[in-house]
Structure 1
Amino acid sequence: MGTWDFGPFDNDAAADFAGELDDAAPDERAALVRAALDRAAATVGYLESDDGEPAVAAAALVAAQCPGGEPVDPAYGPKEPIPGIGRALVEPALRALDRVLGAESELAELWDDSGEGPRWRERLGRLRAALGPWGGDPG
């Protein structure tokens, strides 16, 4: 696992995702965020970490827009603004996080095997909590 810390962009797949967002046209960035969330949430069976890590990063981008959400680390996260991220992406972000935290998730297995699963799950719990003020309101 090319991971160096617990942050949502502190791994190779998420850092690559940030680069993809920065390289995309501004009006395409929100669709890339949604695609990362939907890809993880819609996976049937085992969710590979290469799909789980960008989904966590995408969820963090949505959570950063919520009241009380943590800003995304500029060192590894996207450098360019992502117009169009808002309440409509909260439910997909919650579904993606649930899938990443689920039983058939390579990312969850890797963190649990490392002995740092509880700390990682706490971090994702903070993302879910930040999404809460907008959860259920697709406006």
Structure 2
Amino acid sequence: MGTWDIGPFDNDTAADFACTLDETAPDEREDLIRSTLAATVRTRDYLDSWHAEESVAAAALVAAQCPDGEPVTTTYGPSEALPCFATDLRAVAAEALDRVLAEESELAELWDDTDSGPQWRRSISDLRAILTPQPEPREDPLFEI
């Protein structure tokens, strides 16, 4: 793997994906993110690592626009402005991350063969949690003791 760390853009494939995004017309950037994530979700057979790496990068860009999301500030990420993504893209990104972590995922297998595998899995799970936050428990005055 041309990988130097566990971050979403810390590999050659994701850095290339960021360049492709920068070269894509501004009004087509959300479509590129959506199609990348959707292709991963639709994969029923073995998911190649390069496709998974692109999807992790795309999901990180979607998560960056969520209320608890962190901006993508790495020099390997896109340098051009991204549109404000439609909120339905969050669910697609979360589903793509589930597929990246599932069986039959080359990227997960590669990471699981390293000492950093658990840390990488945790970083993907953290991204997913940003995309699908759990609702705050509601206090119901009828049930107060």
> Normalising by the residue count of structure 1, what TM-score does the alignment of the two structures yield?
0.92
The structure with the largest alpha-carbon Rg is 2
For residues 36 and 84 of structure 2, the distance between their equivalents in structure 1, rounded to whole angstroms, comes to 15
Shift of 1:126: 1.0
Render the CA deviation track for 1:6-60: whole Å, top value 9, x for unaligned: 1101101100000000001100100010111011111121000010000000000
> Normalising by the residue count of structure 2, what TM-score does the alignment of the two structures yield?
0.89
What one-letter code is carried by the residue in structure 1 that aligns with 2:74?
A: P
Q: Conserved in 1, the CA contact under 8 Å of 2:59 and 2:97?
A: yes
For residues 60 and 79 of structure 2, the distance between their equivalents in structure 1, rounded to whole angstroms, comes to 14
Provide structure 2 residue ranges, at least 5 long, that are not aligned to the other structure: 136-145
What one-letter code is carried by the residue in structure 1 that aligns with 2:61?
A: L
Shift of 1:134: 9.1
Q: Conserved in 1, the CA contact under 8 Å of 2:37 and 2:93?
A: yes
What one-letter code is carried by the residue in structure 1 that aligns with 2:57?
A: A
Q: Aligned residue for 1:15?
A: 15
Q: Conserved in 2, the CA contact under 8 Å of 1:90 and 1:134?
A: no
Q: What percentage of aligned pairs have identical amino acids?
A: 59
Q: Aligned residue for 1:93?
A: 93
Match status 1:52 vs 2:39: no
Provide structure 1 residue ranges, at least 5 long, that are not aligned to the other structure: none
Q: Aligned residue for 1:110?
A: 110
Structure 1 stretches of 4+ moved >2 Å:
none
| Change over 3 Å in CA distance of 1:134–1:19 after alignment to 2 | farther
Q: Secondary structure at the match of 1:99?
A: helix
